[in-house]
Structure formats: C-alpha cells, structure tokens
Structure 1
Amino acid sequence: MLKILTLNLHTYQEIDIGQEKNLIEFFEKYENIQEKIVQFIMDENIDIAVFQEAAQHRDMDIIEEKFGIKIKRKNYIKVLHELLLKKNKFYEYVWDFSHYGWNIWEEGLGILTKYPIVNFESKYISKTKDKFSIYSRKILKTTLLINNKLVDIYTVHLNWVRNGFENEYKKLINWINKSSNSRLIIAGDFNINAGTKDYEKFISMNVKGEKLTDVFYETNRYKIDEPTIRKDKFNDGGRIDYILVSKHFRAIDSRIVFKDNDKYGRVSDHMGLWAKLEIIE
C-alpha cells in the first residue's frame, strides 16, 4: 500500500507576520501549525507528501543546496523534514520556488518521501516565468524507487482557467508523454472545481495513452464536490486539489483532512487530501 498526502500550505499566512516582534518569534509560533502536519504524517504513516505554496523567507540564511537549489533557514519543507527527524522519522525532501509572494516569500512546491529519490526536475509550464508574478507556475517531477520500480510523482500548482490552466495542463501532459514512465502520480492544487465543465475536460484527457483516475472521486462517488479549500473573500470553496493516478495504482480510500472539526484542525486555507493506493505490478 502507498499512502499519499497533498496539501497547499498557504505561504506562511496562517499567522500575521506583522503582529510578531521579529522573524524568529514568528517562525517559533508557526511551528505549532507545522507540528500538526508532522503528527498527521506520523499517525497515518504517510509514504509521500506533496506540498504547494511551500515558502522560505528571502532574508533567511542559506543552509544547504538540494539538486542545486538553495534552501534557506525555515524553509517550510525543511522544517517539516527536521521535525520528523527529531521524532526519528527520516524522509527525503526536495523543493523549488516558482515566484515571490508578497515580495518576501519565495513560494514554491515541495515533497517529502520515505522512498529514495532517483531523479528530480522542475520546469515552468506557465506563459510567464517572471519570479515577481504570481502567475508564474512550476511543476516538480520527482522519480522515486518504490518496490524496485520507478515511479514519477508530479507536484502541481496550476493557474485558474482564466489565467492559463488549459495550456499549462497540456504542457504537463506533453512533458509526461515525452519523458515519464507509465507509473505516475499527479498531485496538488489544480485550481479547477470538481464537477464543472473544465474539470470534465481535463480529467478526460489521455496521459500516456490512458485516462488517469481521480482517486477521491473513485472512492467517494457521492462527494465529488466536497471542498478542499475554505470559502473566504478570495475563494468560493470547492474541491480543487487532486491526486490522479495511472493504471498501475488502484484507489483504495481517500478523504479530506485538516478540517476545522477533525483531530488536527486547520493548518491552511486549504484542507489536505489523503489517499491510500494499492500498487499494481
């Protein structure tokens, strides 16, 4: 079995940085939220966790490089990695950033995984590559060795329909068709509401000659539009986060997590999406 989590982390926005005395106090306070995510990963024995709006502050010191990418102190994925290490849980991690948020946050994508990382790539799929535009979007491709088989994990945070979703998704498919093996998972924030015409359009597209399975829909046929983002002045709510899998995986179970009233509670403006998959050889 393979257990997966996807979660949009909200770029360190769950606490108002302007209300804290300094960055150190801000990050110390934020660790309470990050501990909830770590506890979930441990309780559920998550194998792969992918994240969007995973940020690092531009003014923090560089502490290491991963695949040539500079990782700064309090990088969100690095913090999760370190908190897990303190609990004797080792996960590999990678991260890259797409654009600046609020001119101070290097906002991007990341992954934590129990499995060896064989290869890592990231590339822009949006029309713009301007790091100071929120419409600049990257994809992470992480190749893992799982049960002696190579599996490609694509971590995505795509634009809204009006800002280029369709072209971005087509670029992703082209990338997959050219370079991926048939064992693949696409997970993340698609910014497309489930059950809409735009959803039906992208979910029906062939990838490597097959239609991918929407894991949540496959296991929750009567909850197709259960929201994964909270309704607020910026969002209407809806299910916009997905885990899509190729024919080499069977959807066993899936649920929305980090709800206001569950064991872990809110950690972001998004809820998380959890899935259990059976690997089909």
Structure 2
Amino acid sequence: MKVLTLNTHSWVEENPEEKLAQLAEKIIEENYDVIALQEVNQRRDSEAGIVGEWYCPVTDRVIHEDNFALRLTEALQVLGVDYYWTWGFSHIGYGIYDEGLAILSKQPILPNNYRVSQFTEEADYRRRILLTGITEIDGQLVLVGSGHYSWWSEEGFAVEWVTTEEILADSPYPLLLMGDFNNPEGNEGYQLITQGALQLSDVFQTAEQKIGSHTVAKAIDGWESNQEALRIDYIFISPELTAQTYQVMFDGKSGPVVSDHFGVAAVIHA
C-alpha cells in the first residue's frame, strides 16, 4: 500500500490554485492508495458546494465549493482518477476559514470524527480533532487516521495524545496514523507516541529504504522562531504493518514545494 500525508496549508499559500494543480498531478503520478491531509480549509463566507457520490460524510458542517479536499478530488477526477474522501472540521483558522482534516482513499471510507483536545470553542485554534476512516488497502481493512496536533505541553499535546490512545485502543484493524504532530523527533510528545500503549512505530525509523528526513526547513506558522530542519510530520503504523520505504515529498526534489510543510510518503505492507 502506498500512502501520503501532507499539511497542505491550502488557501493560505501563495499561488494556491497552481499548487493544488501540482499536488493533483503528483498524486496521479505516484498513484497513492490513501492520503491524509491537514489544514484543509474552506472560506466561511463561500457558497455551498456539490460533493457528489465520492464524498463520505462525517460532519454536519456544510462542505463549501472551495473546500480544499473537494477541489483536489475534482482536479483528480479531471485527470481521470476518482478518490473517495471525507473531511472533518477542527477549528476556525485565521478568522476566515473552517479548518479541518481530510482522508482520501481509492476505496470507500467509513469515517469517524473525534475531538481530542480539552478545548471546545470553535474559534479557539487549540480545538483539535482526529479524523479516522476504515478503508481497504490491498485487500486489507485498515483504520487510517489524519491528525493535526498541538505543540508539546501538558494541557495541549499530552491531553490530545491520551485521548487519541483511548479512541484507537480497541480497533480490530491495523492502524495507520498520519499527520502533522508538531512534536520533533525525541521530544516528550514523540516519546509518548512511540512508547505508548498503541505500540506504534515511526516509519522513518523502521523503513528498509529512506529518502530524505525533515519536513520543515524554516520558520513557518506556529514555528516562527525556527532556525533548523525539523521532522514533525509522521506516518506511524501498528505492529501488524511493516514499512518498506520512507520518502519526503513536495520538497523541491521529489515534487514541487506546494506547502510550508513537506509531505511524507511510504510503502507499507500488511
């Protein structure tokens, strides 16, 4: 199974329409089975969209015509490939966007949407969710998660991760958890994940082949004072799965830069 995670930065990016087209073209070229996306935005004042038969609903929130996941799947359809997709609302971003998470899959998705933070107000950027979807990859049912977590703190990431473990603990399916975790390799948050009850492994650490490592190269939103390369976007897998390859994508080498984050792709085997 070939998977990708990317924090898209969506409409906050410069030249977003061009970057959306580049993202769609690379997805077609790489032929991913499942894709997890973060910072998937839609303007709060835009019109309702037409979602079509490939949308797998999980939220009562209206999907707008400029929803980044909707627009991306439309671009993929123009290029001849259909993806099932789902989108969950996290919080209001930059005062003008409904910001959320998305999962795309070549097979139908049975989605779920959970709030993992202790913060409940929609206008509070600390309100965080976990979007999950049961889908089939290479004949295997897998529980896929897309997450965009807070920075390390006892009231932020620590709470979010404990809640995530509670949500996923009883899954009868192998876990494939992807996203922007905002916790660099080795810090307290990263250790909570890799030493936790879910027994998740970091694909970067276990893959037979690796191309690239870091996913943030400079100061970005949320890391304004950053001066070093960081690895904060991850693919984690449960013990039933093994990683063949790890590759940084959309870094100017393996695909154009389309976001303030690079993406991460992996080939996983059951």
State the TM-score, normalized to the length of structure 2: 0.89
Residues in 1 aligned to 2:134 and 2:210: alpha-carbon distance in whole angstroms: 33
2:36/2:104 contact within 8 Å kept: yes
Q: 1:135-182: per-residue Cα shift (whole Å, max 9, x none)?
A: 00011011113344421111111111125101111100011114x223
Computing the radius of gyration over CA atoms, which structure comes out larger, 1 or 2?
A: 1
Query: CA 1:135–1:197 in structure 2 vs 1: closer, same or farther (change >3 Å)?
Result: closer
Tell me, in whole angstroms, the C-alpha distance in 1 between the residues paired with 2:152 and 2:211.
23
Corresponding residue for 2:40?
54
Q: Does 1:185 align with 2:173?
A: no
- Aligned with 1:227: secondary structure? coil
- CA, structure 1 residues 124+272, in 2 after alignment: closer, same or farther (shift >3 Å)? same
| Deviations 1:11-64 (CA, angstroms, capped at 9, x unpaired) | 42212xxxxxxxxxxxxx522101111111111111111100000011111124
* Alignment check: 8 A CA contact 1:124 1:136 kept: yes
Question: Which residues of 2 match residues 212-251 of structure 1 at below 5 A?
Answer: 212-219=200-207, 226-232=213-219, 234-235=222-223, 236=226, 237-251=229-243
| Cα distance in 2, alignment partners of residues 31 and 78 from structure 1 | 13
Matched to 1:111, the amino acid is I
Change (3 A) 1:78 1:11: same
SS at match of 2:218: coil
Equivalent pairs counted in the alignment come to 258
Looking at secondary structure, tell me which structure has more helix per residue.
Answer: 1
Q: 1:220 and 1:164 mapped to 2: Cα distance?
A: 33
Cα distance in 1 for residues equivalent to 2:209 and 2:121: 40
Distance 2:209 2:28 in 1: 28
Residue identity in the other structure for 2:260: D
Name segments (4+ residues, structure 1) moved above 4 Å: 220-224
Residue of 38, 43, 63 corresponding to 2:49 = 63
Show the counterpart of 2:121: 130
What is the aligned counterpart of 1:72 among 41, 57, 64? Answer: 64
Distance 1:188 1:30 in 2: 20
Instruction: Identify the match of residue 85 of structure 1 among 74, 77, 90.
Output: 77
Q: Check if 1:6 corresponds to 2:9.
A: no
Counterpart residue identity of residue 181, structure 2: F
- Report if the CA contact (8 A) 1:144-1:153 is conserved: yes
- The structure-2 alpha-carbon separation of the partners of 1:59 and 1:198, relative to structure 1 and needing over 3 Å to count, comes to closer
In structure 1, list runs of 5 or more residues that go unmatched.
16-28
Task: State the Cα deviation string for residues 114-140 of structure 1 (Å, max 9, x = none).
Answer: 0121x2110111011111011000110
Higher strand share: 1
Amino acid in the other structure paired with 2:24: V
Unaligned runs of 5+ in 2: 52-56
The question of whether the paired residues in 2 share the 8 Å contact of 1:11 and 1:107 is answered with: no
State whether structure 2 residue 12 is matched by structure 1 residue 42. Answer: no
SS at match of 2:49: strand
TM-score (norm 1): 0.86
Change in Cα spacing, 1:182 to 1:136, as seen in structure 2 (3 Å) is same
The Cα of 1:219 is off from its aligned counterpart by 2.3
% identical aligned pairs? 29
**CA positional deviation for 1:268:** 0.7
Over the aligned positions, Cα root-mean-square deviation in angstroms equals 2.0
Match of 2:259 among 247, 260, 268: 268
SS at match of 1:270: coil
SS in 1 for 2:159: helix
Shift of residue 272 of structure 1? 0.2
